[in-house]
Structure 1
Amino acid sequence: MPQRPNRRTQSAVNATASRVGEHLAKKIKAVEAERDRAYRERAHLVALLAAMTDGAVTAPAPDVDEPGWQIVYLHLGGHQASWHISPRDADLFTHVERVDVTDPRAQWDGHTTEDKYAGIAAWTAELAQRCGPACAEMHTETGRCEIARNR
């Protein structure tokens, strides 16, 4: 039959467990902070993309229980792309039209993350081939830039 630890042993075990718990809590906070910085970075890029994309909208995220979450919807190269936006990043999207979840422009088309990034890669390649970086801000409603039009 195993013996019960004496009070001194139990106290040492509790102290060690407490130190380990504190260490893990600090590690978790550091990992969460790093994750939040990465999401903030991504949010900056999505906000820029939204500013450069006609028809961009944001709507409340119906699939997130926490208040303040939203989804930004873009159409890139004929395909929908959407991202969840944290309430702490909402300040980056004040330039994007805010709509209700019932708005037809705020309806998810079923794309997966893989579909979204495959579409973005294809659209990026097409834009780069069609006109290159020299005309990034000269795109017209037809999707062609002034430089490419004169080629």
Structure 2
Amino acid sequence: MPNRRTQSAVNATAARIGERLTKKINAVEAERDGAYRERAHLVALLAALTDDAVISYARDVEEPGWQIVYLTLGGHQATWHISPRDADLFAHVERVDVEDPRAQWDGHTTQQKYERIAAWTAELTERCGPACSEMHTETGRCVIARNR
């Protein structure tokens, strides 16, 4: 049976390990949250450049305040869950009720979403090209893409 001194040393070591693990977990969570914030900025930008973007509360997340942004890109739906801490980035997006037809998930997977985005990006690149910036209207939307 360990003596008091040994037990005290074990407890102190366990406490130091616990503190280091807690710091590491906090750092990993902060890094993850930063990456999600960065993604949210880009999705907010994409929503601003996309006709008919809408946002609604997420029925599939039990934690309150989560939302889903629904975009149509190249004729296909793309959606992202938005954390309550990133909601401020989406004030410009039309908020709709969860029953609104525009806020109904079409069943796409994450892989399908990014395949759709890649296809739409390729189409816009071919259609608009680098000179696209000269063809933008006062709304910021490309005249070529709008007249497709």
Identity of aligned residues (%): 76
Which runs of no fewer than 5 residues in structure 1 stay unpaired? 146-151
Q: Normalising by the residue count of structure 1, what TM-score does the alignment of the two structures yield?
A: 0.89
Structure with larger Rg: 1
TM-fit CA distance, 1:7:
1.1
After TM superposition, list the pairs within 5 Å mapping 1:3-82 onto structure 2: 4-82=1-79
**Count of aligned positions:** 142
Moved over 4 A (4+): none
Query: What is the CA deviation profile of residues 125-150 of structure 1, one whole-angstrom value per residue up to 9, with x for unaligned ones?
Result: 010011113325442496447xxxxx
Which runs of no fewer than 5 residues in structure 2 stay unpaired? none
Partner of 1:139: 142
Describe the shift of the 1:141–1:128 C-alpha distance in structure 2 as closer, same or farther (beyond 3 A).
closer
- Residue 103 (structure 2) pairs with residue 100 (structure 1): no
Measure, in 1, the Cα distance between the counterparts of 2:59 and 2:130. Answer: 37
Alignment RMSD (CA, Å): 1.5
Measure, in 1, the Cα distance between the counterparts of 2:55 and 2:23. Answer: 35
Measure, in 1, the Cα distance between the counterparts of 2:115 and 2:23. Answer: 37
Q: Normalising by the residue count of structure 2, what TM-score does the alignment of the two structures yield?
A: 0.91
